[in-house]
Amino acid sequence: MQEQIITKTLSFSVLGLPIHLLDNYPGWLIAQLHQQLGGHVITLNAEMTMQAEKNAKLAEIIQQADLVIPDGSGVVLYLWLKGKKVRRCPGIELAETLLLYAGQLSKPMPVFFFGGAPEVAAKAAEMWQQRCPKLAIAGTQHGYLSTEEELTLHQTLKEQQPAVILVGLGVPRQELWIAENRHLCPKAIWIGVGGSLDIWAGTKSRAPAWFRENHLEWLYRLYQEPWRWRRMLALPQFAWKALLSNFSPK
């Protein structure tokens, strides 16, 4: 419980949404796992922040999340403008740290991969099984489910009780799905990982280091997925609101 108190004490507002400022996000999650406290992790970026302005349910879920990390460069720059010198914590890297940790334990902490197109979750899990032979895979499921398949997934999660559940359904669908279903595995860490499953499966590639280090990962994603251009309009909107907020009282 002490870790939860620390997290809430170190929260900060990004355009009305919470962000938790910790030196060691993986350490917090590992402590949650060992104490079987579970939790919902939100990887906040500019696009999600702007979506939350129009989606009250998404905003509510972010407000109630156990851990909200600064995933996007826009969020990090916003915090810098407010005098909070934080480092970006990409959700894919946080998830990878957890998977590497779980793969080294003598006592299994099973992981479930859910989302993506057919075969993507299975390929992502296969890649991780090869990388970490001791990693316990509780199961996989693609994200295009019928009503019957959805009910089967619910039953599988209830029976398996994985320790970590990685959900790649895209924003805001993955956040809404986690909030609706996390009661199935209350001791699990639930993380919305977006397109991470595709990267692990090899169907997409992550931006090269230079793009990531220079806050241009969004540009590489636009190059890979030009259909995202409408969604990318949230970035200048967020930047404008961030600049305006800097002239208001902190």
Which alpha helices (DSSP H) does the chain contain, by range?
A: 2-9, 25-34, 46-54, 56-64, 73-81, 91-102, 120-131, 147-160, 173-181, 196-201, 209-213, 217-224, 229-232, 234-245
Report whether 56 contacts 33 (CB < 8 A).
no
Mean pLDDT of 231-245: 77
Inter-CA distances, 175 with 23, 94, 171, 178, 226, Å? 24, 17, 7, 5, 24
* Tally of CB atoms within 10 A around 161: 15
Task: Fill in the amino acid letter for 176.
Answer: L
Least confident of 14-23, 28-37, 181-190, 216-225: 216-225
Domain locations in the chain as residue ranges: 36-245
Which one has a higher pLDDT value, 75 or 236? 75
Least confident of 93-102, 167-176, 204-213: 204-213
Report whether 134 contacts 112 (CB < 8 A).
no
Give pLDDT tens digits for 121-152: 999 999 999 999 999 999 999 999 999 999 99
Radius of gyration from C-alpha coordinates of the chain: 18
Report whether 19 contacts 45 (CB < 8 A).
no
Note the pTM of the prediction, 2 decimals: 0.89
Tokens of 218: 């969004």
**Is residue 180 predicted with pLDDT exceeding 90?**
yes
Euclidean distance between the first and the last CA atom of the chain, given in angstroms as a whole number: 29
pLDDT band at 104 (very low <50, low <70, confident <90, very high): very high
